[in-house]
Amino acid sequence: MSGESQSAMIASLVMRSLNPTNSGAAGSPYFNNLNFSLVGNPMNPNGGLFERFVGLSLPSLGIEMYGATPDNAFPTKIFTIEYDGAADFPRYPINVLADLNAFMGIQSLHGQYATLTPSSLLQLFR
């Protein structure tokens, strides 16, 4: 299963509901082959905006900060562009300059995932 941005959040929530420790589907042959590839994930366990502010709720905007993508039995790859404020938010939100940089990154970088090619992704691993 793959997802980008909000779709990555949906995939993360699916991971929670299909967790092998609490799901009866663990015996399914398809279940054992399930893996996740997420890009620009706001629930990134190391810096996602929804992970940094877990528990915050903005009901007027329909936003719930769900927390991090679960670390369970499913093989998961999360790809993030550095300084993308949605998927790579600063660890210390009290740093105003880092916050401004993150918000600029949301506007300028978060939409760039669709333009990545397989060859540009391969250069990340060299």
Strands of the sheet with 2-4, listed across from one edge: 2-4, 36-39, 76-79
Residues involved in catalysis: 5
Collapsing DSSP states into helix, strand and coil, what is residue 109? coil
Nearest Cα residue to 91 out of 62, 48, 56: 48
**Cα end-to-end span (Å), the chain:** 25
What are the beta bridge partners of residue 39? 4, 79
